[in-house]
Chains A and B, each alone.
Chain A
Amino acid sequence: MGPAAVVLEGVTKRYGGFTAVDDLSFQAAAGRILGFLGPNGAGKTSSIRMMLGLIAPTSGRISVLGEPDASKVRARIGFLPEERGLYRRMTPVSAIAFLASLKGMAPAEARRRARSLLEEQGLGAAMDRQIRSLSKGMAQKVQLLSALAHEPDLVILDEPFSGLDPVNQQSLEAIIRKLADRGATVIFSTHVMQHAERLCDHVVLLAGGRKVFDGSVAEARGAAPRTLVLEGPFDPAAVSDLPGLEGLASEAADGGGVRVTAALRAGAPAQDVLKAAFAKGLDIQRFELKEPHLHDAFIVLTQGAPA
């Protein structure tokens, strides 16, 4: 892991008697993509606002691009909020150029950059139309570009995939990868695990304001059990004796017989189950080992966390 672009140490945020973020610590490595995951109300937006310097933590320490106060490095940060909107009567070019100029770009350069980004993203034909006449997807793309036009070193995207159709989601994934390729640090929050699984080098999972996981996607997957599927004309009760299995569920299989789905205990080899099944003379017609997805890990890790 390279030097950290963002560091949070023991950060807590309270609103009156309510603790939104509780003793949160993690680091986002420079030039990498970090997924900031958690169910709704987990404290993601509050954490992002603290990283951006929009709200002060109740306690703890935050460092962004080497500065304890993000406002000192505003020009190097790009931000897309969860709830989106732009000046409805402005054109995409003007809106992007205006927000980029607030980040320190010269107005003429900002306009040039806005035009080039819009052309690149297939919005060339719409660049001089008022934003209110654009589709929702197009407007969201314009807003994303307005967060990126000044080529920030740190990009923070709050739920960037929400409201986008599959094509635009794919296009956004490509943009995020491109940012990381350029060397920018990307932190994005989401509760849709597929995006994080495809994009992230590192994920931090929050639940009830607390960190419940901090590591790589592969490590996160390790928190969830692997699943074994066995199918055949056998008695489901006979499967319960097999070693390493727990949480068995059986149902009728499509082609006759039964399908048993079970979690494989951590460290238990799948081949031992297969060997034991053959030893018992079970007629196994399908034996499938399913590796867990991030989604499974998310469910496991957030279960039992305070709401």
Chain B
Amino acid sequence: MLKTRICGIKLENPTVLASGIMGVTGASLCFVSENGAGAVTTKSIGLEERKGHPAPVVLEWENGLINAVGLSSPGIEEGVEELKAAVEKSKSPVIASIFAPTTKQFGEVARQVSKAKPAMIEANISCPNVEAEFGKPFATDQKAAAGVTKIVKKNSKVPVIVKLSPNVPNIKIIAQAVEKAGADSICAVNTVGPGMVIDIKTGKPLLANKAGGLSGPAIRPVAVRCVYDIYESVKIPIIGTGGVTYGKDAVEMIMAGALAVGVGSAVHYRGIDVFRKVCNEIIEFMEKEGYSKLKDFRGIAHE
């Protein structure tokens, strides 16, 4: 009932572990897969070893999470090793998320991770937490976004997903630019903001990085609108990500036009088996409403 196919890759269900959550090690990704995820995405892999920002790097606030992990990564060799472990043992397809500070390096990382044979590669061009080091995210400029897409595509043998930022005035233009540059799919969206939470007793921002990307329930309407806009402007499939916590949220994403649905912060709200829970809730909804396939209600918000 929930089976779907994205860029030729079969998924048992539309839930996809979003990058950055439970994705540091191969074993961790397998643990998530065993808990029902239709596909799993690694934490973004880069060339160099990076410790990331000092802690706190992620906290809960009233309506979601705020994070600035700062793209910690064990470096390309160990990153590829963890990816290999995941690809070998995971029940569901593994998506390799990659990041780099330059377009050229994106090509190199794509080439290296390809060796581990992931089902897909996701180019993370939208991390909002490394601007001090890396400059404006590639996803905020259509030319830069297209440039990275092209080079990643050229260095990959598998379908390429480009992860977009919601923090742009017109996401349609960016979506069209990456589609034209050869992207096979779009993941929308990365975290919102960045935002800031200040502790009023000490008068200091809570995150060590001060600002951080917002995720969780609060950003869902933003994510849904982005998916809706992208669906109207491109033909490639969309992984709708942002605040999906319950089956009803996944249904909403699919109605906006998503083919698959990213789940991340909800691991905190509902536990590691959130994937199974969301799937059961989608089935419940479908049975109640008389839908037999996801396709029956995909994009109906546009009709």
Chains A and B bind each other: no
Q: What residues make up the interface of A, taking CB atoms closer than 8 Å to B?
A: none
